[in-house]
């Protein structure tokens, strides 16, 4: 019902959007914001009567009146402040965004011999920005919200045939935030035909316990025969909210591989949707979520097989402790035309406490007849006989649990090819769960 009472948060967003619209920018940006503002006014926040949101209670986000960050804060961050988040590896390009706005002084662009272009989205060329909102524009209210407030963000453009030797790391830092502020990280990646790139997107914070909201959107265009490996790390503040939408569009024979890791944040929801829109495209979505306390972490993955002979793999693992709540969805849609689809998914969860909860479900909509689609999920603790085996060798139950938890995570992390990222995440897992 369109007459329904507007939430206070939406009233605030609409008021702020009017102000954001006035902030200067190129013509395309003004038009994009304007169109998004119209959608924002029409769309409603999701509620738990909707299938996709059945287990995910975002009332704390919907019912808070967040002030949107329409311009960059005048805060003086130093290289040392962001030291824990960057890698500073030889050859890497690392672009730093503070509350969504590009921060050239903290960024480092490798003196590359390539003609890869990357940087502040608002300064990108017309041929690049024309991809914005093309793949997620008809999405939910959160993508509209992000576009309506678009004032910064990142873009990466890899020209045809360019095989990048080193990764590009996009670091989104939340810093200097006052209570209940909303920021809008935005990323656009275009991999032209035959190109290859490795990207890392991390969402980190310098805040203690300030409740803030990051509403992030990433669009990835993977053209014919291009290969993109995307790592995503969410490490937000303990009282913060992080909702993200990643839309991936794949052309024929392209490859998209993602690793999405959620380490912290009070409520985190990562929506990752892939459209396999060319024959023989291949995508692999893997992820790990480590939860505790009263966290809510939702990973909503969706793959649409629109063309024949595409392959997809979804493999997510979760370790849930405390009273935390995990949600995992693996949605596979196979269009009538998409014969010879091969799709697999697996979601494994380790519950470390009796009060932790996981809701896991595959959603399959298959309209083609010659397809292979499998799915599976496990939830639980290590079997008693496994724990007893440890004990019979002198290892206590607590230590056995720790070792098994590390092993559980390691089985996924060991598949990461990007060594520095794998190493860092290994350390996080080790520090959190290792008994030794």
Partner 1 sequence: MLVIENLHATVEGKEILKGVNLAVRAGEVHAIMGPNGSGKSTLAHVLAGNDAYEVTEGRVTFMGQDLLEMPPEERARLGLFMAFQYPVEIPGISNAYFLQAALNEIRKSHGQEELDAMEFQALLQDRMRLVAIDSSFAGRPVNEGFSGGEKKRNEILQMAILEPRLAVLDETDSGLDIDALRIVADGVNRLRSPDRAMIIVTHYQRLLNYIVPDFVHVLFEGMVVRSGGKELALELEAKGYDWVKGLGVESGSGLALAQS
The separation between the first and the last C-alpha atoms of the chain, rounded to the nearest angstrom, is 57
What tokens does 292 get? 């505790």
Residue ranges in contact with partner 1 by CB under 8 A? 384-386, 388-397, 399, 403-404, 406-408, 410-411, 436
What tokens does 35 get? 């169109």
The answer to whether residues 198 and 158 touch, using CB atoms and an 8 Å cutoff, is: no
How far is the C-alpha of 74 from the C-alpha of 176, rounded, in Å? Answer: 9
**Angle at which helices 27-42 and 8-20 cross, to 10°:** 160
User: Which residue lies nearer to partner 1 by CB, 208 or 383?
Assistant: 383
User: Which residue lies nearer to partner 1 by CB, 63 or 415?
Assistant: 415
DSSP characters over 390-436: HHTTT--HHHHHHHHHHHHHHHHHTT---HHHHHHHHHHHHHHH---
User: Which residue lies nearer to partner 1 by CB, 252 or 387?
Assistant: 387
Selection from 283, 254, 263, 288 nearest residue 415 by Cα? 288
User: Which residue lies nearer to partner 1 by CB, 28 or 430?
Assistant: 430
User: Which residue lies nearer to partner 1 by CB, 48 or 391?
Assistant: 391
User: Which residue lies nearer to partner 1 by CB, 364 or 403?
Assistant: 403
How far is the C-alpha of 316 from the C-alpha of 288, rounded, in Å? Answer: 6
For the chain, what is the radius of gyration of the CA atoms? 21
């Amino acid at each position: 019902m369109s007459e329904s009472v507007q939430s206070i948060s939406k009233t605030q967003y609409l008021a702020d959007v009017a102000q954001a619209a006035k902030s200067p920018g190129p013509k395309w940006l003004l038009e994009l914001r304007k169109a998004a503002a119209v959608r924002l006014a029409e769309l409603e926040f999701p509620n738990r009567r909707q299938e996709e949101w059945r287990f995910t209670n975002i009332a704390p986000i919907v019912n808070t009146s967040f002030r949107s960050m329409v311009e960059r804060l005048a805060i003086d961050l130093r290289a040392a402040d962001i030291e824990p988040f960057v890698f500073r590896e030889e050859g890497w390009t690392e672009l730093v965004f503070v509350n969504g706005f590009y921060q050239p002084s903290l960024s480092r662009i490798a003196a590359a011999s390539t003609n890869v272009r990357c940087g502040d989205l608002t300064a990108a060329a017309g041929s690049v920005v024309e991809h914005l909102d093309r793949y997620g524009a008809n999405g939910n209210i959160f993508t509209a919200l992000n576009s309506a407030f678009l004032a910064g963000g990142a873009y990466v453009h890899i020209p045809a045939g360019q095989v990048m030797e080193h990764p590009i790391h996009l670091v989104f830092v939340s810093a200097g935030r006052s209570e209940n502020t909303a920021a809008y990280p935005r990323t656009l990646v275009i991999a032209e035909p035959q190109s290859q790139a490795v990207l890392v997107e991390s969402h980190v914070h310098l805040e203690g316990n300030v409740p803030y909201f990051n509403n992030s959107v990433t669009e990835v265009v993977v053209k014919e025969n291009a290969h993109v490996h995307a790592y995503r790390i969410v490490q937000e503040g303990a009282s913060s909210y992080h909702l993200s939408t990643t839309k991936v569009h794949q052309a024929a024979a392209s490859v998209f591989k993602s690793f999405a890791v959620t380490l912290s944040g009070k409520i985190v929801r990562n929506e990752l949707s892939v459209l396999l829109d060319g024959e023989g495209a291949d995508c692999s979505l893997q992820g790990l979520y480590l939860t505790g306390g009263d966290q809510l972490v939702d990973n909503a993955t969706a793959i649409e097989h629109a063309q024949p002979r595409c392959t997809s793999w979804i493999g997510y693992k979760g370790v849930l402790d405390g009273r935390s709540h995990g949600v995992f969805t693996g949605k596979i849609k196979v269009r009538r035309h998409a014969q010879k689809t091969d799709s697999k998914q697996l979601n494994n969860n380790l519950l470390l406490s009796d009060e932790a909860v996981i809701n896991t479900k595959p959603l399959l909509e298959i309209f083609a007849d010659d397809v292979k689609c499998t799915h599976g999920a496990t939830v639980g603790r290590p079997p008693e006989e496994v724990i007893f085996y440890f004990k019979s060798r002198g290892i206590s139950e607590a230590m056995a649990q720790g070792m098994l938890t590390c092993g559980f995570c390691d089985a996924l992390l060991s598949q990461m090819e990007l060594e520095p990222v794998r190493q860092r995440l290994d350390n996080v897992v080790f520090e959190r769960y290792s008994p030794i």
